[in-house]
């Protein structure tokens, strides 16, 4: 068994891998995942972890850059674990994501690509400054307050003043909060000692950049001096509509707890997607790229091709966004979601859009779907938009038992999508088309929408 630990090797990068977006090369048969490397690079890389058949490595020198390598403006891109693809030109990012999807369908789903209709990826008009949700942990380094994202595979914060995938105004607000925390000597949370107060800075902003909610994640309930922060925020940013606190007294990796407390204003923003309006509470799930979400939902709409008579089941509905976006073309929309806050938003959002044909159920999909089936509910169209882990076999079974004419699978993970599509085809559904959508530019994450029919 080779042990290359701490050795430096010259490695040619043959591809990108889809779990973390690292470059992949080889030292003979030993596979090396090189952080920040781009397909086509030749790099000197130091092996930082050496397992039986593979290792992880860091670039020490770029011997020959890939033709797809660019030099981003971001000063911390080599260190920060936030954007795995920032150093890759945008066209090649898109090409790579299409490849991830195809590889997963082939290798995991065991599909013959010749028999599938895979459309070109829907690219982003604005591949930078798009994120509507920001959570930056804070810490201390040599006595100075720092905030940024974690380095890949670690809890070491990489400090920055400007993140290139966040709107400029969000960066400015985070910087104001950092400077307030320093000036006011607000105790900063120490992960090792489990002491201190301020853990993370969390913002939500709408696409028009007219509304921002600022949330401070704290260890305990005490947050001294928040009124001086509020004064500074409202003096400088009329877009701030609320200041919220989230108490997270746990020691684990969860960034947020369920406990939100509104200190001032409101704990939600309003967002428009096309003609549809949404109330988005600070704690509810909402897609992080609003501009691309409109394109994503338009694809779902096109795939559903509703005539107005269909009953539609929106599984993993969040704050009701997909179902509500389509509701004026359906007879009835039923949504299922585990988060009670998101369901409250969904009910509110149906009213906000003057819809009377939407019904939302709060509970686990695994529990609510069998109940709906038992009540002999019928749906012509089922939309599923699960978290990264995809669907359980039982959920695939229940959805198939509804016997819908169409299933629209919205996925943020090609691997679990491919696995689940194979199971749906075994239940008699066939894949009509799949379209990837670039919802997360500058990262390796790939969204896709698939239409299945009986
Ligand atoms: C990828 S999001 C999709 C949300 C929504 N469709 C959208 O476009 O904004 C997945 C949602 O599933 C919810 N969820 C996760 N596990 C669940 C479960 N077992 N049962 C019901 N909902 C669940 C999450 O709270 C989240 O809102």
Instruction: Report pLDDT digits (tens) over 312-345.
Output: 999 999 999 999 999 999 999 999 999 999 999 9
E-only strand ranges, 28-156: 30-35, 42-50, 54-64, 133-141, 144-150
- Domains 8-69 and 133-272 agree in fold: yes
For the CA of 364, the closest atom of ligand 1 is 20
Centre of ligand 1 from the C-alpha of residue 431, in Å: 23
Q: What is the mean pLDDT of the chain?
A: 96
- The residue whose C-alpha atom lies closest to atom 13 belonging to ligand 1 is 316
Give the count of beta carbons closer than 10 Å to the beta carbon of residue 304.
20
Q: pLDDT for 350-406, tens place per residue?
A: 999 999 999 999 999 999 999 999 999 999 999 999 999 999 999 999 999 999 999
Q: What is the rounded distance in angstroms from the CA atom of residue 38 to the CA atom of residue 15?
A: 7
Helix (H, G, I), strand (E, B) or coil at 310: coil
Every domain of the chain and the residues it spans: 8-69, 113-123+289-453, 133-272
Q: What confidence score (pLDDT) does residue 222 get?
A: 87
In whole angstroms, what separates CA 313 from the centre of its chain? 23
The alpha-helical segments, DSSP class H, found in 190-313 are 226-236, 290-304
Q: What is the rounded distance in angstroms from the CA atom of residue 304 to the CA atom of residue 296?
A: 12
Q: Which two tokens stand for residue 213?
A: 């909610």
Q: What phi and psi, each to the nearest 5 degrees, are found at residue 174?
A: -60, -40
In whole angstroms, what separates CA 398 from the centre of its chain? 27
Half-sphere exposure of 421 (CA within 13 A, CB side): 33
Helix (H, G, I), strand (E, B) or coil at 177: helix
Q: What is the DSSP string of 329-375?
A: GSSEEEEEES-HHHHHHHHHHHHHTT-SSEEEEES-HHHHHHHHHHT
The CATH code of domain 8-69 reads: 2.40.50.140
For the CA of 296, the closest atom of ligand 1 is 8
Q: Which two tokens stand for residue 220?
A: 């305990």
Q: pLDDT for 160-178, tens place per residue?
A: 999 999 999 999 999 999 9
Q: What confidence score (pLDDT) does residue 278 get?
A: 98
Residues near ligand 1 with C-beta < 6 Å? 285-287, 316-318, 321-322, 336-339, 342, 364-366, 385, 387
Q: What phi and psi, each to the nearest 5 degrees, are found at residue 409?
A: -105, 115
**Average of per-residue pLDDT across 16-22:** 95
For the CA of 317, the closest atom of ligand 1 is 6
Centre of ligand 1 from the C-alpha of residue 286, in Å: 9
Per the CB < 8 A criterion, the answer to whether 206 and 289 are in contact is no
For the CA of 314, the closest atom of ligand 1 is 6
113-123+289-453 CATH fold:
Rossmann fold (3.40.50)
Q: Which two tokens stand for residue 64?
A: 């020959």
Best mutation site among 338, 342, 364, 449 for ligand 1, i.e. most ligand atoms within 8 A of its Cβ? 338
Which distant-in-sequence residues (6+ apart) come within 8 Å of 57 by Cβ? 9, 11, 32, 33, 34, 35, 45, 46, 47, 48
Beta bridge pairs of residue 69: 88
133-272 CATH fold:
OB fold (Dihydrolipoamide Acetyltransferase, E2P) (2.40.50)
Q: What is the pLDDT confidence band of residue 58, given thresholds at 50, 70 and 90?
A: very high
For the CA of 316, the closest atom of ligand 1 is 12
Centre of ligand 1 from the C-alpha of residue 133, in Å: 17
Q: What is the pLDDT confidence band of residue 3, given thresholds at 50, 70 and 90?
A: confident
Q: What is the rounded distance in angstroms from the CA atom of residue 1 to the CA atom of residue 211?
A: 57
Q: pLDDT for 429-440, tens place per residue?
A: 999 999 999 999
Helix (H, G, I), strand (E, B) or coil at 450: strand
DSSP assigned state of 188? B
Is the pLDDT reported for residue 1 higher than 70?
Answer: no
Give the count of beta carbons closer than 10 Å to the beta carbon of residue 364.
11
Q: pLDDT for 68-106, tens place per residue?
A: 999 999 999 999 999 999 999 999 999 999 999 999 999
Indicate the length of the chain as a whole number.
Answer: 454
Which distant-in-sequence residues (6+ apart) come within 8 Å of 172 by Cβ? 237
Half-sphere exposure of 137 (CA within 13 A, CB side): 23
Best mutation site among 300, 320, 322, 387 for ligand 1, i.e. most ligand atoms within 8 A of its Cβ? 387
Q: Which of 83, 163, 317, 412 is catalytic?
A: 412
Quick check: is 215 catalytic?
A: no
Cα distances from 238 to residues 162, 208, 211, 213, 360, in angstroms, run: 21, 13, 8, 11, 34
Which distant-in-sequence residues (6+ apart) come within 8 Å of 220 by Cβ? 197, 247, 249
- The residue whose C-alpha atom lies closest to atom 20 belonging to ligand 1 is 364
Per the CB < 8 A criterion, the answer to whether 339 and 284 are in contact is yes
Q: What percent of the chain has pLDDT over 70?
A: 100
Q: What confidence score (pLDDT) does residue 254 get?
A: 87
Centre of ligand 1 from the C-alpha of residue 412, in Å: 12
């Amino acid at each position: 068994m080779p042990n290359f630990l701490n050795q430096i090797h010259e490695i040619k990068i043959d591809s990108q891998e889809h779990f973390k977006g690292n470059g992949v090369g080889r030292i003979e048969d030993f596979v090396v995942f090189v952080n920040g490397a781009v397909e086509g690079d030749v790099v000197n890389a130091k092996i930082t972890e050496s397992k039986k058949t593979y290792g992880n490595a860091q670039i020490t020198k770029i011997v020959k850059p890939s033709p797809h390598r660019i030099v981003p403006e971001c000063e911390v891109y080599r260190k920060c674990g936030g954007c795995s693809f920032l150093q890759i030109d945008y066209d090649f990012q898109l090409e790579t994501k299409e490849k991830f999807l195809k590889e997963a369908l082939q290798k995991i789903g065991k599909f013959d690509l010749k028999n599938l209709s895979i459309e070109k990826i829907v690219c982003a008009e604005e591949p930078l400054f798009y994120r509507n949700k920001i959570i930056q942990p804070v810490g201390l380094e040599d006595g100075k307050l720092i905030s940024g994202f974690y380095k890949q595979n670690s809890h070491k914060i990489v400090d920055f003043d400007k993140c290139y995938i966040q709107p400029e105004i969000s960066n400015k607000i985070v910087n104001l909060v950092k400077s307030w925390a320093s000036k006011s000597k607000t105790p900063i949370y120490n992960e090792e000692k489990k002491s201190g107060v301020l853990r993370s800075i969390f913002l939500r902003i709408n696409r028009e950049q007219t509304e921002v909610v600022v949330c401070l994640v704290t260890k305990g309930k005490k947050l001294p001096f928040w009124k001086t922060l509020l004064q500074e925020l409202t003096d400088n940013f009329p877009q701030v509509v609320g200041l919220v606190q989230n108490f997270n007294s746990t020691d684990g990796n969860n960034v947020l707890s369920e406990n939100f407390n509104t200190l001032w204003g409101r704990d939600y923003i309003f967002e428009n997607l096309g003609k549809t309006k949404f109330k988005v509470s600070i704690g509810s799930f909402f897609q992080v790229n609003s501009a691309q979400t409109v394109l994503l939902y338009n694809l779902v709409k096109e795939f559903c091709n509703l005539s107005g008579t269909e009953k539609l089941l929106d599984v993993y509905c969040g704050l009701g966004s997909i179902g509500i976006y389509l509701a004026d073309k359906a007879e009835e929309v039923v949504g299922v979601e585990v988060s009670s806050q998101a369901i409250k938003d969904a009910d509110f959002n149906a009213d906000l859009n003057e819809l009377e044909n939407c019904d939302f159920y709060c509970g686990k999909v695994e529990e609510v779907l069998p109940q709906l089936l038992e009540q002999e509910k019928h749906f012509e169209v089922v939309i599923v938009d699960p978290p990264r882990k995809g669907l359980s076999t039982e959920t695939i079974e229940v959805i198939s038992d509804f016997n819908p004419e169409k299933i629209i699978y919205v996925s943020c993970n090609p691997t679990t999508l491919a696995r689940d599509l194979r199971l749906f085809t075994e239940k008699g559904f066939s894949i009509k088309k799949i379209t990837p959508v670039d919802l997360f530019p500058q990262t390796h994450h790939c969204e896709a929408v698939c239409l299945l029919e009986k």
